[in-house]
Amino acid sequence: MTPYCSNWLSSLIAWPNQISPTKTTCFNLRSETVGNPRRRATATLSTLGVAWRAGHIEYDSSRLSMDDSFVYPDGRILESSNLKIFTFAELKGATRNFKPETVLGEGGFGKVYKGWVEEKTLNPSKSGIGIMVAVKKLNPASVQGLEEWQSEVNFLGRLSHPNLVKLLGYCWEDKELLLVYEFMAKGSLENHIFLRGTSNETLSWDLRLKILIGAARGLVFLHSSERQVIYRDFKASNILLDSNYNAKLSDFGLAKHGPEGGKSHVTTRVMGTFGYAAPEYVATGHLYVKSDVYGFGVVLLEMLTGLRALDPNRPQGQHNLVKYAKPFLANRRKLARIMDQQLEGQYNTKGALKAARLSLQCINGDPKSRPSMKEVLETLEQIEAIKRRSKDARLSSNSLRRTGTGTGTGH
């Protein structure tokens, strides 16, 4: 989502004090200024707000439930969103008055709190009773506001897929804007990959692959839906994990419908996150479906190397992961030099090389030369199959050895 707009070059010079490298930002490469972000946010509230309030969200309590029957296995665009409209008092109750101890994290929109609601009705319940939910509350000081909140409600409220986080409802009372999501027990991928050494253990290569496949399925669904959706903010902090490490995409504040009428791109104000946004988009504002593929390539690189997309604390020349890692990706020996040391070599080298080459294709400067997300998913599934085959081969040679029927163990 969008903490503020700033001039790309000057913010880069001022960075990291001025911006958080992992938060969503409004880039401004061209000469026009976007204007005071606070003013922009207020204007948005007054111009879009009324129109949307008169809108279309219908609430049918009989269909509300966390029951999985409402997550369509192959994804579905719902006729109308079926979100619960919470009162502010209900969300206060669910989060024990937004108690600091219930804070799960904080992004550009505001803090995210853990709350409890009744499973069937989603009415607030006492802590420990019912189901857990995540409640995202707009920080009044944030420049994000109705526009991002509205996009989240309109897109996520109507998209249903196992790899998209489920939006359960929202609240809009006076200046209070909140969103209520299913609770994702393992938090964000960013926390697992980059905030290690705390309670999080290193993610194994197998789990990284599982997460990437889940996230790729989410993007394939968005890109192949009837009216294409460009996600625009693919990054490790927007990939949330459930208790089984199933990945779900969150944060549709920047999502856009894809081009129509045979056009290759849509033109937008340039927004996204430093390090993940595709170069053609940052330079021209032309947003392609393949701009998401670039972001995916960057996250894939993060998974391989354990390094953040952008990190000013790395030595000179290594700040930008794409630039730094590119020369290491096509060759097995070179790749070994930048693979995440926390993996301690516990990965299938053939699979890792295939993944590295895939990331190289995804970060191609020319969007047309990048693979589609469908192709990316197929390659990741092949890598998973290599891993499974080599595991099976190991297991069967071990059992042959044990039973004495394998080569070299003969009688």
Print the SS3 string covering the chain: CCCCECCHHHHHHHCCCCCCCCCCEECCCCCCCCCCHHHHHHHHHHHHHHHHHCCCCCCCHHHCCCCHHHCCCCCEECCCCCCEECCHHHHHHHCCCCCHHHEEEECCCEEEEEEEECCCCCCECCCCCCEEEEEEEECCCCCCCHHHHHHHHHHHCCEECCCECCEEEEEEECCEEEEEEECCCCCEHHHHHHCCCCCCCCCCHHHHHHHHHHHHHHHHHHHHCCCCEECCCCCHHHEEECCCCCEEECCCCCCEECCCCCCCCEECCCEECCCCCCHHHHHHCEECHHHHHHHHHHHHHHHHHCCCCECCCCCCCCCEHHHHHHHHCCCHHHHHHHCCHHHCCCCCHHHHHHHHHHHHHHCCCCHHHCCCHHHHHHHHHHHHHHHHHHHHHHHHHHHHHHHCCCCCCCC
Cβ atoms of 297 and 362 closer than 8 Å: yes
Please state the φ and ψ torsions of residue 240, each to the nearest 5 degrees.
Answer: -100, 155
Is 142 a residue that touches ligand ATP (CB under 6 A)? Answer: no
The smaller minimum CB distance to ligand ATP, of residues 19 and 356, is found at 19
| Residue ranges in contact with Mg ion by CB under 5 A | 107, 238, 251
d(CA 379, CA 211) in angstroms, rounded, equals 14
The entry of ligand ATP, Mg ion, none that residue 188 binds, CB within 5 to 8 Å by partner kind: ligand ATP
Is 231 a residue that touches ligand ATP (CB under 6 A)? Answer: no
Among 115, 187, 218, 367, which residue interacts with ligand ATP (rule: CB under 6 A)?
A: 187
Is 234 a residue that touches ligand ATP (CB under 6 A)? Answer: no
What one-letter code names the amino acid at 32? E
Binding flags for ligand ATP, 116-135, as an x/- string (CB under 6 A):
------------------x-
Minimal distance, residue 352 CB to ligand ATP, in Å? 27
The entry of ligand ATP, Mg ion, none that residue 106 binds, CB within 5 to 8 Å by partner kind: ligand ATP
Binding piece for ligand ATP, criterion CB under 6 A, among 70-78, 100-108, 258-266, 287-295 = 100-108
Among 4, 86, 116, 183, which residue interacts with ligand ATP (rule: CB under 6 A)?
A: 183
Minimal distance, residue 184 CB to ligand ATP, in Å? 4
List 233, 251, 292, 340, catalytic entry:
233
Is 108 a residue that touches ligand ATP (CB under 6 A)? Answer: yes
Among 81, 191, 305, 359, which residue interacts with ligand ATP (rule: CB under 6 A)?
A: 191
The verdict on whether 233 is a catalytic residue reads: yes
Binding piece for ligand ATP, criterion CB under 6 A, among 102-110, 194-202, 341-349, 364-372 = 102-110
Minimal distance, residue 256 CB to Mg ion, in Å? 17
Among 67, 106, 201, 381, which residue interacts with ligand ATP (rule: CB under 6 A)?
A: 106
Report the chain's terminal Cα–Cα distance, integer Å.
Answer: 67
Minimal distance, residue 254 CB to ligand ATP, in Å? 9
Minimal distance, residue 238 CB to Mg ion, in Å? 4
Q: Is 99 annotated as a binding residue?
A: no
Minimal distance, residue 235 CB to ligand ATP, in Å? 7
Is 165 a residue that touches ligand ATP (CB under 6 A)? Answer: yes
Binding-residue total with ligand ATP (CB under 6 A): 24
Is 370 a residue that touches ligand ATP (CB under 6 A)? Answer: no
Annotated binding site: 137
Provide the binding-site residues for ligand ATP, judged by CB under 6 A. 1, 23-24, 104-109, 112, 134, 136, 165, 181, 183-184, 187-188, 191, 237-238, 240, 250-251
Residues annotated as catalytic are 233
